[in-house]
Structure 1
Amino acid sequence: MTWDVALILVTDGLANGAVYLLAGLGLVLIFSVTRVVFVPFGDIAAFAALSLAAFETGRVPPTIGMVAVLAALALATEIGSLLRRGEASRIPKAMLMWGVLPAIPCLLAWLAARPGVPVAVHIAVAVLLVVPIAPLLARVVFQPIADASVLVLLIVSLALHFLLSGLGLLFFGPEGSRTTPLTSAVFTLGDGFTVSSQVVLMVGAAVVLSGLFFLVFERTVAGKALRATAVNRVGARLVGIRPVRTALLAYGCASLLAGLIGVLIAPVTTMYYDSGFIIGLKAFVAAIIGGLVSYPMTAVGALAVGVVESFASFWSGALKDVIVFSLLIPVLMLRSFMAADTEEEEDEVDQ
């Protein structure tokens, strides 16, 4: 391996790591607020990519039907819950939130499928179209079992992934799709080394969105509510923060990140209805490196996963995923030793 090849691999690894960084941030956000390891995160990214591909071919995205089905289920669940609690007066508000709001991006997608619509509009609508998916899934599946153990929530989340894969096959079909590059420029650095603008766009988007993520958490009331819920759910409830509302906000933010990821990766890889699962798993490795609580460590882990994957694909394409997932072994061992030391220190203090 020459230095030129190594530099190319590092560049590709950083591009992949940028995608895993955004996905890892979404996973950590949901887990810290709700204790749910949201396995279907990658599926939402795949649906965004397939929606953009449908726009490019002049078709109405099948995602509209999926969102409509989920919205109907969420609305029925909410109305049933209100009727059981004797709060029928809140049904109009529920219809607005769970019926009308999810229908707005569906209507925009239907209008954007017409000829002559700019690409930028297609991109924006493809992202907006998948934003309601995670909150709708949360209302139907996770909110009724919010107090269950982490293991139960993980099993349900995994089952939900397979359900979404089936819905993806039903609505999108088995054919894969790839969109045209968002930009075709090429930058030439020293000694003839070139970097595509698509790679720069992916890395730049990760940096900008991570910065916005930090500002939202530090400077906005909603971000502080999310942080408070992540630190102490009971304490947040005591000071007037509603965990259900912050959970839906976390799901919405994560779904927005997933949509942006889908738009970024759609031009560089052929996406199928089930392609998001492997993206979510590798982001989960990055999140585990961060302990599912630390955003900076998750970012470091995501970049590490991307670089390791790039070099592993050079050495053995068939074993690259095995090598990437093997990163979990030393990380879990290290965390196990650290947890044991912490427990021993706590026992000494108690004595």
Structure 2
Amino acid sequence: MDISIASILLLDGLTNGAIYALLGMAIVLVFAVTRIIFIPQGEFVAYGALTLAIFQTGKTPGTVWLLLILAGVAALMELVQTLRHGSGMRAAGIAAARTFGPAALVCAISIWAAPQNFPLVVQALLTVCIVTAFGPLVYRVAYE
């Protein structure tokens, strides 16, 4: 092993260590505030890595379709809940559109941008938008 391989391995180890430290800190922070152990925290990291890797190949990531399905379920839940509380159909439609709209916009941009082979910064930004949109939708579907 020469100095170049040792430096690459050292940098890789430091990067992985930083990621695991941040992931651990996020789990502790969520537990300290909510007293719930948020196990799926690692899934968001994996979704981000896989989404960016598929963007790099010029294909549309599967997380886009998962986001659309999750947004559709959350919008349907919002529609039903708003109608149950006695609000009109217009208010229920607005509430459902507010839930579905941002995720649909992110998905539409991602589907359009995937084959364009934009620079890594743009692909990373789209990945962050996709994975960030999962947070409130997972909370809405799983915890409410």
TM-score in terms of structure 1 length: 0.36
1:50 positional shift? 1.2
Query: Residue type of the partner of 2:115?
Result: R
1:34: which partner in 2?
A: 34
2:77: which partner in 1?
A: 77
1:15 positional shift? 2.5
Looking at structure 2, the residues matched to 30 and 46 of structure 1 have their Cα atoms a distance apart, in angstroms, of 18
Contact 2:75 2:97 in 1 (8 A): no
Q: Secondary structure at the match of 1:86?
A: coil
Q: Secondary structure at the match of 1:132?
A: helix
1:35 positional shift? 3.1
Higher helix residue share: 2
Query: Residue type of the partner of 1:84?
Result: R
In the superposition, relative to structure 1, how do residues 86 and 112 fare at CA in structure 2: closer, same or farther (>3 Å)? same
1:129 has 2:130 as partner:
yes
1:103: which partner in 2?
A: 104
1:43: which partner in 2?
A: 43
1:30 positional shift? 3.0
Query: Residue type of the partner of 2:116?
Result: P
Higher relative contact order (CA 8 A, sep 6+): 1
1:190: which partner in 2?
A: none
1:119: which partner in 2?
A: 120
Contact 1:109 1:125 in 2 (8 A): yes
Mapping of residues 251-330 of structure 1, within 5 Å: none
1:63: which partner in 2?
A: 63
Please give the per-residue CA displacement for 1:33-52, whole angstroms capped at 9, x wherever unaligned.
43332211111211111111
5+ unaligned residues in a row in structure 1: which ranges?
1-6, 144-351
Instruction: Tell me the number of residue pairs that the alignment of Structure 1 and Structure 2 aligns.
Output: 137
TM-score in terms of structure 2 length: 0.80
Contact 1:112 1:121 in 2 (8 A): no
In the superposition, relative to structure 1, how do residues 11 and 123 fare at CA in structure 2: closer, same or farther (>3 Å)? closer
In the superposition, relative to structure 1, how do residues 26 and 96 fare at CA in structure 2: closer, same or farther (>3 Å)? farther
In the superposition, relative to structure 1, how do residues 32 and 79 fare at CA in structure 2: closer, same or farther (>3 Å)? farther
2:86: which partner in 1?
A: 86
Larger Rg: 1
1:13 positional shift? 4.7
